[in-house]
Amino acid sequence: MPKYTKKASRESRSTPYAIEFLLLQVMGNGTALCRVLMDPRVDPNLVDEDGDTPLFIAANLGNDRYVELLLGDPRVDPNITNEKNGATPLNAAANQGRNRCLELLLADPRVDPNLADEDGRTSLCMAAGLGEDRCVELLLGDPRVDPNLTNEKNGATPLYAAAAEGKDRCVELLLGDPRVDPNMTGEDGNTPLYIAANLGKDRCVELLLGDPRVDPSITNEKKGATPLNVAANQGRNRCLELLLADPRVDPNLADEDGRTPLCMAAGLGQDRCLKILLADARVNPNQADEDGRTPLNGAANRGKDRCVELLLADPRVDPNLASEDGRTPLNAAATQGKDRCVELLLADPRVDPNLAGEDGRTPLCMAAGLGRCLELLLADRRVDPNLADEDGRTPLCMAAFVGEDRYVELLLADPRVNPNQADDSGRTPLNGAATRGEDRCLKILLADERVDVCCADNNGQTPLVAASIQLLRSIDRVGATDGKDPTRCFVLMLKSRRIPIQNLAHSIAYLRHFMPNRRDVTVAEAGGAPLTQQQKAARLVVPVLEAQFKGERRWCAYCLKLTPDANLDLCGGCKQVGYCQQYVLEEMAGPDQTPCHVKHWKDGHRKECARFQEEEEERKGKQAEAGAEGGGGGGSGGGGKKKIGNCKKGRRR
C-alpha cells in the first residue's frame, strides 16, 4: 500500500490509477468511486494538475455523497492542502458555502477546523466575509473552532471580515457567540464597528451598536479617529445617525489632528452629515482643530458652500472665530478665492468683513489678486478698502506692487479707495509700481487724476526716480523686445505729461550723482574697469531728462524706447511727443516697417493731439493774460501740480 504523503509528488501522478482516472470516477457515480476506493493499490490522496485531492474537489463542488464516502476511507487525509492556494477541503467548503460538506468535514475528528489558506484566512473568516451564514453557524457550533482567530495577513477577525463586507446575518451570528471579542482590531488598527462605519455598512453598525460589549469610542490606532469621525469623513449619513443615537458616543471627540466629526464633515463638504451633526444638541459647532480652525473656517477655506450656508444658519456658530494664523472664515475664503463662500459670509450681518489675520491682512487684502472675491468685498459697504496690513500696505498697494493691473483698475474704480495711501516705507501704489517695473499698473494709476505723481517715499524717491532706479537694476534688459523693456515705466511717467518741472529738475539732480565722469567712460571704453550698473543707467536716463527739461523728446511715444543720444522728431500737430527717427526705424518699427508716428496716429494720438493743442492754446492764453514770462521748461509741465516729494501721505489705521 502506498504511503500517505502530505503533498503528492509529481512522480506519483504516473501510477496506473492516475488521479485523473479517479476524478473521472468521482464525477461519475458513487458505485464506481466505491470500487476504486476498494482497490488497495489506489492512493486516494493523489492530487491532480491543479493540486486538488479528490476530497478537496468533492468539497469544493459540494458533492456531499462523495465527501462522505471519501471521509469513510481511513487512508484519506482530510487536511491535505491545495498546492496552489494552500486551502484545505474544509476551507473550500466554507469558501463555496457547501453547508452539508462542511458539516460532514467538521464531524470528522481528524479535520482541523482552524487551518488557514495561503491568504491566511480560516474557514470561519472566509464564510463570514462571504456571508455564508449557515457555514458560519456550523463553524461556530464546533467547540474546536476559535472564533477570534485572525487572518494571518491583515489581522482581521471573522467579525471584522463580516462587518467590512456588510454581511449582516454573519455579524449577528458572530455577535451571538459569547466567545467572540467584538472590539478586536485588525492590523489597520480598526475595530469591526470602525470599518463598518467607514464603509457605510449601516445594518452592521446597527447590529454592533446593539451589543453592549462593543465600545464605540475606541479610536483607530493609527489616526486616532473614532467610528463617528470616520462616518463623518466618508459621508456615511445613516451610520452617523446610528452612532449619534447611541448615548455612549461622544460627538465631539477629535482625531489626532484635533478634528471633530463636525470639522471633518465641514472641511470635506459632507452636507448631509453636517446637518445631522448640527441637529445634535451635544455637538459643539465652534470646536476648532489643532490649527485653531473651526468647522466654519474649514468649510470656507475649502470652498464648501453648502456647509458654510448650513453653519451660518446655526445661531450657535460664531462666524468670526479666527484660526491660529488669525484668519477668520471670511479671510480664509478670500485668501483661497472661494467666491461663493465670500458671498455667503458677507450676507451674514454678524460677520465682520474687516478682521485681519496675524499679518494684518484683511479679507480684501487677501483677495487683491482674486477678481470675483475682490468685487464681492468691494460691493459690501461695511468693508473698509483702505485697511492696511502689518507693512502698511493697502489692497491697492498690494495689487500695484505685484502687477495685478485688473485689480488696480477695480480698486481705483471704488471712490472710497485712497489711491495715494502709502505703506510703512512711504511707498504709494504708483511709487511701488514704478519701483517694481509694473508698467501696466503704472499706466492705469497715471491715468487716474487723483493719483499723486510726485509723492516721495521715506528715502526721498519720487515715482520718476523710482522708475529710473528700477532701470538701474535691470539695465541688462534695456531694449528687450518682449514687452518687458525696463525703460517702459520711466517713459510712461514722462509720457503722462504729469511730471511738474520742479520734479523733473529734482530727478535730474538726484540721478546726476551716478553719472560717470569722462575719465571713467574713457577707461571703460578702452577695455578697463567697466562702468557700474548705476553709471550705465544714469548715462541712459540723465540725457533724456535733460532734453525733456528743455522741451525736447528722447523717448518714442509709440514704442516707448529711449534714444538718449538724439532728440526725436516731434509730432507736427501738438509738438508734445516724439517718434523714432529714420536711423532707429528699422530696428523698432517692426517687420511691417510702419514708422512709429503712423502707428501711433491710428492708435489714438489723433484724438490726444487735438486735446494737447487745445491745452497748449489755453496755457498760452493764460500766460498772455497774466503777462508773465513762460518759464524755462517749455512743454514739459503739462498741467501737473507743482510740488516735489513731500506730499501728504494717507494715514494708516
Binding mask 211-250 for Zn ion (x = CB under 5 A): ----------------------------------------
Q: State in angstroms the smallest separation of the CB of 442 from Zn ion.
A: 19
What span, in angstroms and rounded, lies between the C-alpha atoms of 496 and 501?
13
Whether residue 441 contacts residue 410, with contact meaning beta carbons closer than 8 Å, is answered with: no
Q: State in angstroms the smallest separation of the CB of 573 from Zn ion.
A: 4
State which amino acid sits at residue 579.
Answer: Y
Q: State in angstroms the smallest separation of the CB of 497 from Zn ion.
A: 12
Stretch that binds Zn ion, among 158-166, 289-297, 321-329, 602-610 (CB under 5 A): 602-610
Residue 570: which H helix or E strand, with range?
strand 569-570
Residue 538 found at the interface with Zn ion (CB under 5 A): no
Q: Which is nearer to Zn ion, 510 or 558 (CB)?
A: 558
Stretch that binds Zn ion, among 181-189, 247-255, 607-615, 623-631 (CB under 5 A): 607-615
Q: How many residues bind Zn ion (CB under 5 A)?
A: 10
What span, in angstroms and rounded, lies between the C-alpha atoms of 397 and 365?
9
Q: State in angstroms the smallest separation of the CB of 596 from Zn ion.
A: 3
Q: State in angstroms the smallest separation of the CB of 525 from Zn ion.
A: 27
Q: Which of 83, 21, 79 is nearest to 52 (CA)?
A: 83
Stretch that binds Zn ion, among 89-97, 369-377, 428-436, 558-566 (CB under 5 A): 558-566
Residue with cell 451610520: 239
Q: Which is nearer to Zn ion, 254 or 588 (CB)?
A: 588
Q: State in angstroms the smallest separation of the CB of 376 from Zn ion.
A: 42
Residue with cell 488557514: 116
Q: State in angstroms the smallest separation of the CB of 295 from Zn ion.
A: 59
State which amino acid sits at residue 64.
Answer: D
338: which 3 cell numbers? 472661494
State which amino acid sits at residue 367.
Answer: A
Residue 471 found at the interface with Zn ion (CB under 5 A): no
Stretch that binds Zn ion, among 156-164, 481-489, 507-515, 553-561 (CB under 5 A): 553-561
Q: State in angstroms the smallest separation of the CB of 426 from Zn ion.
A: 34
Q: Which is nearer to Zn ion, 136 or 580 (CB)?
A: 580
CA dihedral 111, 114, 118, 123 (to 10 degrees): 90
What span, in angstroms and rounded, lies between the C-alpha atoms of 170 and 274?
31
Q: State in angstroms the smallest separation of the CB of 595 from Zn ion.
A: 8
Q: Which is nearer to Zn ion, 97 or 486 (CB)?
A: 486
Stretch that binds Zn ion, among 6-14, 170-178, 601-609, 640-648 (CB under 5 A): 601-609
Q: Which of 514, 506, 567, 508 is nearest to 536 (CA)?
A: 514
434: which 3 cell numbers? 514704478
Q: Which is nearer to Zn ion, 337 or 573 (CB)?
A: 573
Residue 492 found at the interface with Zn ion (CB under 5 A): no
Stretch that binds Zn ion, among 9-17, 60-68, 139-147, 556-564 (CB under 5 A): 556-564
Q: Which of 590, 580, 576 is nearest to 555 (CA)?
A: 580
Stretch that binds Zn ion, among 195-203, 387-395, 432-440, 605-613 (CB under 5 A): 605-613
What span, in angstroms and rounded, lies between the C-alpha atoms of 619 and 76?
121
Residue 544 found at the interface with Zn ion (CB under 5 A): no
What span, in angstroms and rounded, lies between the C-alpha atoms of 313 and 315?
6
CA dihedral 281, 283, 285, 290 (to 10 degrees): 170
Q: Which is nearer to Zn ion, 423 or 439 (CB)?
A: 439
**Residues ≥6 apart with Cβ < 8 Å to 116:** 86, 91, 122, 125, 149, 151, 152
311 to 263, 291, 326, 559: CA distances (angstroms): 11, 19, 20, 55
Q: State in angstroms the smallest separation of the CB of 620 from Zn ion.
A: 16
Q: Determine the 3-state secondary structure of 122 from DSSP.
A: strand
Binding mask 561-600 for Zn ion (x = CB under 5 A): ----------x-xx-----x-------x-------x----
Q: State in angstroms the smallest separation of the CB of 606 from Zn ion.
A: 8
Stretch that binds Zn ion, among 16-24, 47-55, 99-107, 552-560 (CB under 5 A): 552-560
Q: State in angstroms the smallest separation of the CB of 485 from Zn ion.
A: 11
Stretch that binds Zn ion, among 25-33, 262-270, 288-296, 550-558 (CB under 5 A): 550-558
Residue 556 found at the interface with Zn ion (CB under 5 A): yes
Strand partners, 451: none
Residue 559 found at the interface with Zn ion (CB under 5 A): yes
DSSP assignment of 460-478 equals: ---HHHHHHHHHHHTGGGT
Task: Return the number of other C-beta atoms located less than 10 Å from residue 375's C-beta.
Answer: 16
- Cα 626 to its chain centre, rounded Å, is 66
What span, in angstroms and rounded, lies between the C-alpha atoms of 437 and 486?
6
Q: Which of 454, 609, 636, 650 binds Zn ion (CB under 5 A)?
A: 609
Residue 494 found at the interface with Zn ion (CB under 5 A): no
Q: State in angstroms the smallest separation of the CB of 557 from Zn ion.
A: 8
State which amino acid sits at residue 117.
Answer: D
Residues 289-322: b if buried by 16+ CB within 10 A, e if exposed: beeebbbbbbbbbbbbbbbbbbbbebeebebbbb
Q: Which is nearer to Zn ion, 412 or 588 (CB)?
A: 588
Residue 466 found at the interface with Zn ion (CB under 5 A): no
Q: Which is nearer to Zn ion, 313 or 610 (CB)?
A: 610
The footprint of Zn ion (CB under 5 A) covers 556, 558-559, 571, 573-574, 580, 588, 596, 609
